[in-house]
Structure 1
Amino acid sequence: MSKYIIGFLVVISAIGLAILAAFGISALINRSNTSLANGYWGSGMMGGGMMGYINQSIDGNRLTIDEATLIAKDYVASTNSNLSIAEVMSFQRNFYIAVKEKDSGRAAFELLMDPITGNLGSEPGPNMMWNRKYGHMGILRNKSGENPITLEEARQFAQKALDSNIPGAIVEPNGFDFYGYYTFDYKVNDVIAGMLSVNGFNGQHWFHTWHGTFIEEKEVNK
């Protein structure tokens, strides 16, 4: 008889745990949706800590590229004194910001800024998955150093990817050399049409599909 009682209690406990787990998952989903609704960008791991910046000055108008540059400069300066802004690009959906190290001159990581609110977050894709110093790869392995694939070799990989996917597009010769990958602009009919990254270890490419139409750019300290 006791075996039946024990079995019954085990079943009840399992059901209880399942209910608690369901409530827990629901709460996490709700918190995630609330954060997105409030303008919090998906926070990537930058240098071992969660990275995200919420701008407090919002008037509903699109930021100019100069205003976006000032916000990005203030954020980066408050985060790490060895970092500076290298380039800001204005796109239909966001501002793209390339950050570099002052001492080495090496490209560090990439940010995206909401063009209306000025909220900052880590750029998805290669910046999170391939960055061996400031992204997820850096946290797992803490790798840095030179990329086995050179900038010119990466440019050739990028051009091959463009030839296969966007015939007529031409990769720009000067890309950013990040820890683990490279990022290039490319043009169509001599106008910037987008960006793509190339893995510095295996040559894999990744198109930046989240920007929208290019508007203008500003080189700050490339």
Structure 2
Amino acid sequence: MTRRRRTILITLGITLGAAALAGGAAGAMGWWGGTAGGPGSPYGMMGPGMMGYGGMDHGMMGGWWSQPPVPGATPLSAEQVAERVRAILPRWGEPGLRVGHVMEFDNGFYVVVEGTDGKGAFELLVDRYGTWVHPEPGPNMMWNTRYGHMGAWQRTSDTPPVSAQEALRQAQGYLERWMPGTTVGELTEFPGYYTIDVTTGGRPSGMLSVNSYTGQVWYHTWHGAFLSETEADRDHS
């Protein structure tokens, strides 16, 4: 076998393996599509994007889930997005799940689903026109030790060694190194990791996650510009 052919086969194997992993991760948490497709749609794929402290994700997943608007369609409001998510939460078969808060970005909506303990359970993305709801890629799939596809392998104890305070410290150190002028904001704890708002001038401008077992930092590159935030079910309790 020639060197060129070996290289092609190795590259193909890596590509197929990554695709299988992406499809499995999407299927593990569920996928609800409308006009955008269904299971197997390119919107169900995720990129690797994982990095340690000091690494920088340059946007491998950025923009992969945004869609051109449907002609004549009107973007959903945050409350309409919350209603759509509430309608599908029973599919998890877990009573007590609720919509924590909804953040609107110019690429679409980000939704935190909370458990009965008030902590984050998992994260969802909804396109601006409500054609699909999808588990957020990145930490939500790879680090979530309860709902994610790959998170269970990292769980070494019932009490993660990285506290919320340490996660904020790690996150701020990352921002000071890679995004000067930004600071950490609100923190939400999920099984196996924390997601933290990134703020600029006191206003949310993005978010990142910190692994609660390893301290790794993963910046979310796929949201776009922040528009608004709504505390959904907290406002209806």
Give the TM-score of the pair, scaled to structure 1. Answer: 0.72
Deviation per CA, 1:24-66, whole angstroms, max 9, x where unpaired? x9xxx9xx9xxxxxxxxx78457xx45012358x872211111
Report the counterpart of residue 54 of structure 1 in structure 2: 33
Q: Aligned letter for 1:123?
A: E
Q: 1:101–1:113: structure 2 CA closer, same or farther, 3 Å change rule?
A: same
Q: How far apart are the structure 2 equivalents of 1:144 and 1:219? A: 32
Aligned: 1:91 with 2:105: yes
Deviation at 1:82, TM superposition (A): 2.8
Q: Aligned letter for 1:130?
A: W
Report the counterpart of residue 126 of structure 2 in structure 1: 113
Residue 218 (structure 1) aligned to one of 203, 206, 230:
230
Aligned: 1:73 with 2:52: no
Give the gaps of 5 or more residues in structure 2: 1-11, 36-69
Residue 160 (structure 1) aligned to one of 173, 198, 216:
173
Q: How far apart are the structure 1 equivalents of 2:174 and 2:129? A: 33
Report the counterpart of residue 100 of structure 1 in structure 2: 114
Q: Aligned letter for 2:191?
A: Y
Q: CA RMSD in A?
A: 2.7
Deviation at 1:144, TM superposition (A): 7.9
Q: How far apart are the structure 1 equivalents of 2:179 and 2:152? A: 34
Q: How many pairs align?
A: 180
Aligned: 1:82 with 2:96: yes
Give the gaps of 5 or more residues in structure 1: 1-24, 33-41
Q: How far apart are the structure 1 equivalents of 2:77 and 2:99? A: 16
Q: How far apart are the structure 1 equivalents of 2:112 and 2:163? A: 19
Query: RCO greater where, 1 or 2, for CA within 8 Å and sep 6 or more?
Result: 2
Q: Aligned letter for 1:180?
A: G
Deviation at 1:151, TM superposition (A): 0.5
Q: How far apart are the structure 2 equivalents of 1:44 and 1:214? A: 26
Q: How far apart are the structure 2 equivalents of 1:196 and 1:134? A: 19
SS at match of 1:63: coil
Contact 1:45 1:134 in 2 (8 A): no
Residue 125 (structure 1) aligned to one of 121, 126, 138:
138
Q: Aligned letter for 1:67?
A: Q
Q: 1:106–1:96: structure 2 CA closer, same or farther, 3 Å change rule?
A: same
Residue 176 (structure 1) aligned to one of 185, 188, 204:
188
Contact 2:183 2:199 in 1 (8 A): yes
SS at match of 2:150: helix
Deviation at 1:192, TM superposition (A): 1.0
SS at match of 1:136: coil
Aligned: 1:185 with 2:197: yes
